Structure 1
Amino acid sequence: MDGYTDPSVTGRTGLALLAPFGERIVEMRAWAYGGRWIGCGITRTDHGERTVVLVAQREDPTAGLTEPASWVDRVVAVTGWDTTRVRTVDWAAVEARIGTVLPRDYKRLAELFGHGAFDGYLQLLLPDTGSESDDIVRHTEWLGAFARTHGNRLWEPYVVYPAPGGLLEWAGSEQADQFYWLTQDPDPDQWPILAKEDVPDSWQRFHGSTAEFVYHLLTNPQHPFSTARYFDTHWFESYASEG
């Protein structure tokens, strides 16, 4: 099994599987399945070691949130993300360069999570990533220049920002799905989200905030871009180096 007992496990990472055995645990591995943990491990007994298999209830990771919890709080809870290291972003400079204020909860997600991907699938475009493809400022400038040169045919019936009311891309996926804000409303917190697969005429429109969209993508199997159909637990994979 090549497993080990992690003394820092919590209710969202299989603590219920360790509770019946206390210090008798040698090792335990846990798999999430729906609302349950499936555990397989080795424990000590008076007659030596033995293998055990057990099932335990898996808590809703958002159950401990104080209401009213924000959508950002819910994304943090469902991914188990450590928010002690918050990224500092000069949003005034970023927004001046892009030419518009950005949604508040997107900025909070960018500060808390940084450069990486949710469930290995959804990657936010962020300032100062060092890559044109996932830097929101450089990508917005590049996409606008491309549309001015080649037209908006790829985005019909919409136009690309900085055209008035145009599409401003804020995320992409490993499968080349694209996620945009439609910037028609003067209040960026009211911008709807338009998403499309990498095929023509596949636009889908979503109302609600950026963090709400991310949360439902992670947790709702009926969401058109859901990762919940494939994973019972959810995570954020940081691309930042630990050094």
Structure 2
Amino acid sequence: MAAMDVMEKPGVPELLSAVHRLTAQRAGEPVCGTRGHSPGHTCLVPPAGVGLPDLQEAVGSRFGEPRGLVAGGSVDPAASARSGLPLLTPFGGRVVEMRAWAYGDRWIGCGTARAADGDVRPVVLVAAREDPAAGMPEPASWVERIVAVTGWDTPRVRTVDWAAVEARLGTALPGDYKRLVEIFGGEGAFDGFLRLQVPDAPSAGSDIVRHTEWLGEWARTRGGGLWEPYPVYPAPGGVLQWAGTEQADQVYWLTDGPDPDRWPVLAQEDVPDSWRRFDGSTGEFVHRLLTDPGHPFSTARHFDVHWYQSYGTPS
């Protein structure tokens, strides 16, 4: 008999629904009903008979890859308020395992803690998350500003053979884009909304090389009417897609000129003749999307605190 999918196990959908309610924007300070626990978080009751791996898989299916906070009772020495430390506060030194997910102005935690009777039990909680950029001096570069505003863990740096990537594409790429890929890693989305296309992604639609080749072939064999009045790369001065949104908008560079750092950004909604041009760098486009309510694709109209949701590293 096939193993039961974790989402089909009794109590799991209800648990995730409770997590979603607690992560709603501007929901107010979370309060815990557990005796002796201070405000600032809410503990949830894990479903009976559902183990920690299944709980973490269920939360991860909705909120992406977690950050490790505690393993085998040892707290990550780099743990801080920016990386999920508020999830440990309710349990003192009794946490055995804990993984953290950022979502807007909330932390989501799933792990185990030692109870007063000595038993190690699963715990799931949602805690307040401070704005990681609050009180910080403004960084110099646009990429550094994106790291600051999302509270991303910068030691996770990915090595990319850019010479090979650019040789296959037939063009150099903007430096801001390459740095974003190196810092934020594989597939993922800013505010769960703007998704970068990256080299060596598991899916062809998220892989900047394979997707560029596919778009170019489509335009060559079926015509480029969907992108008018612009040609499609590798046509000279064509549009080259580097990101998309959860609402099926597409974000391109207009490869006009020899210096990719000076390429403008073109974004197209999922309707014909909806191009919007942005005369700034890739990093500036992303930062303003996160922080400027006037940006045409802004997430700042919906979220006060921002994050990057990782979908895992490329295979």
TM-score per shorter chain, which class?
Answer: 0.7 to 0.9
Is the 2:205–2:211 Cα contact (8 Å) retained in structure 1?
Answer: yes
- In structure 2, do the counterparts of structure 1 residues 13 and 151 end up closer, same or farther at CA, with 3 Å as the change threshold? same
1:126 aligns with one of 192, 198, 203: 198
- 1:61 matched to 2:133? The reply is yes
Query: Quick check: 1:222 aligned with 2:276?
Result: no
Match of 1:41 in 2: none
State the secondary structure of the residue aligned to 1:195.
strand
Sequence identity percentage: 62
- How many residue pairs get aligned? The number is 205
Deviations 1:44-77 (A, max 9, x none): xxxxxxxxxxxxxx7671642365x100000000
The 8 Å contact of residues 179 and 196 in structure 1, kept in 2 or not, is answered as yes
Q: Structure 1 pair 109/242, CA: closer, same or farther in 2 (3 Å)?
A: closer
Unaligned runs of 5+ in 2: 1-31, 33-41, 45-69, 93-103, 107-129
- Runs (4+) off by over 6 Å: 11-15
TM-score of the two chains, using structure 1 as the length reference: 0.77
Contact 1:81–1:235 under 8 Å retained in 2: yes
Give the letter for the 1:228 counterpart: A
The answer to whether the 8 A contact 2:243-2:250 is kept is yes
Q: CA deviation at 1:3?
A: 3.6
Q: Deviations over 1:168-207 (max 9, x none)?
A: 0000011100000000111000000000100011000001
Deviation at 1:131, TM superposition (A): 1.1
Give the match's secondary structure for 1:107: helix
Residue 202 of structure 2 aligns to a residue whose secondary structure is coil
Opposite residue 219 of structure 2, the aligned amino acid is A
State the superposition RMSD in angstroms: 2.8
* Distance (whole Å) between structure 2 residues aligned to residue 59 and residue 109 of structure 1: 20
Q: 8 Å contact 1:12–1:59 — kept in the other structure?
A: no
Q: Which letter does structure 1 place at the counterpart of 2:283?
A: A
Structure 1 residues 77 and 141, CA gap change in structure 2 (3 angstroms): same
> Which ranges of structure 1 fall in alignment gaps of 5 or more residues?
24-30, 34-57
Partners in 1 of 2:194 and 2:285 — Cα distance? 11
Please report the TM-score for the alignment, with normalisation by the length of structure 2.
0.60
Query: Aligned runs of 1:1-243 on 2, under 5 Å?
Result: 1=32, 2-3=42-43, 9-10=80-81, 32=105, 61=133, 63-65=135-137, 69-114=140-185, 115-240=187-312
Distance change >3 Å, CA 242–CA 93, structure 1 → 2: closer
Q: Write the distance in 2 (CA, Å) between the matches of 1:107 and 1:159.
A: 24
Deviation by residue 1:58-100 (Cα, 9 ceiling, x = unmatched):
7671642365x10000000000000111011000000000000
